[in-house]
Amino acid sequence: MYFCEMTAGDGVRGPYADYDAWFAQQDNARLAQKSREAEAFFRQTGITFNVYGDKDAEERLIPFDLVPRILSGREWDKLSRGVDQRVRALNAFLHDIYNRQEILRAGIVPIDLIAQNDAYLPQMMDFVPPGGVYTHIVGTDLVRTGEDDFFVLEDNARTPSGVSYMLENRETMLQMFPELFSKQKVKRVSDYPKNLRASLEASAPPNCKGRPCVAVLTPGIHNSAYFEHSFLADQMGVQLVEGHDLRIVDGHIAMRTTRGFKVIDVLYRRVDDDFLDPLTFHPDSMLGVPGIMDVYRAGNITIANAPGTGVADDKAIYSYMPDIVEFYTGEKAILKNVETFRCSEPDSLKYTLDNLKDLVVKEVHGSGGYGMLVGPAASKAELAAFADKLRANPANYIAQPTLSLSTVPIFTEAGLAPRHVDLRPFALVSPEQVNIVPGGLTRVAMTEGSLVVNSSQGGGTKDTWVLED
Q: Please name the residue ranges forming H helices in 225-337.
A: 226-236, 292-297, 315-318, 321-329
User: Mean pLDDT across the stretch 23-40?
Assistant: 92
Query: Does the structure show a pLDDT above 70 at 56?
Result: no
pLDDT digits (tens, 9 = 90+) for 106-141: 999 999 999 989 899 999 999 999 999 999 999 999
Report which residue type is found at 71: L
Separation CA 266–CA 299 (nearest Å): 11
Cβ contact 289:132 at 8 Å = no
Query: Does the structure show a pLDDT above 50 at 361?
Result: yes
**Selection from 143, 148, 144, 17 nearest residue 78 by Cα:** 148
Q: Which region among 193-202, 220-229, 448-457 has the lowest average model confidence (pLDDT)?
A: 448-457
Separation CA 55–CA 34 (nearest Å): 32
pLDDT range class, residue 238, cuts 50, 70, 90: very high
**What pLDDT shows up at residue 43?**
80
**What pLDDT shows up at residue 183?**
85
User: Mean pLDDT across the stretch 346-354?
Assistant: 95
Phi–psi pair at 51, nearest 5 degrees: -110, 115
Mean per-residue pLDDT of the chain: 92
Query: Does the structure show a pLDDT above 70 at 177?
Result: yes
- The length of the chain, given as a count of residues: 469
User: Mean pLDDT across the stretch 24-47?
Assistant: 87
User: Mean pLDDT across the stretch 356-368?
Assistant: 82
pLDDT digits (tens, 9 = 90+) for 383-435: 999 999 999 999 889 999 988 899 999 998 888 999 999 999 999 999 999 99
**What pLDDT shows up at residue 399?**
94
Contacts of 336 (CB under 8 A, 6+ apart): 150, 151, 152, 322
Domains and CATH numbers, the chain: 7-338+403-466 (no CATH), 341-401 (3.30.1490.270)
Separation CA 125–CA 127 (nearest Å): 5
Query: Does the structure show a pLDDT above 70 at 55?
Result: no
User: In the chain, pLDDT over 70 holds for what percent of residues?
Assistant: 95
**Selection from 220, 208, 193, 172 nearest residue 67 by Cα:** 172
**What pLDDT shows up at residue 52?**
46
User: Mean pLDDT across the stretch 89-97?
Assistant: 98
Phi–psi pair at 403, nearest 5 degrees: -80, 150
Query: Does the structure show a pLDDT above 70 at 53?
Result: no
**What pLDDT shows up at residue 49?**
57
Contacts of 198 (CB under 8 A, 6+ apart): 430
Separation CA 387–CA 393 (nearest Å): 10
**What pLDDT shows up at residue 450?**
81
Dihedral over alpha carbons 184, 421, 57, 365 (to 10 degrees): 130
Separation CA 311–CA 313 (nearest Å): 5
pLDDT range class, residue 453, cuts 50, 70, 90: confident
Q: Which region among 24-33, 339-348, 367-376 has the lowest average model confidence (pLDDT)?
A: 367-376
**What pLDDT shows up at residue 273?**
96
Helix (H) / strand (E) element for 187: namely none
User: Mean pLDDT across the stretch 331-353?
Assistant: 94
Q: State the pTM of this model.
A: 0.92
User: Mean pLDDT across the stretch 304-315?
Assistant: 94
Q: Which residue has better confidence, 99 or 453?
A: 99
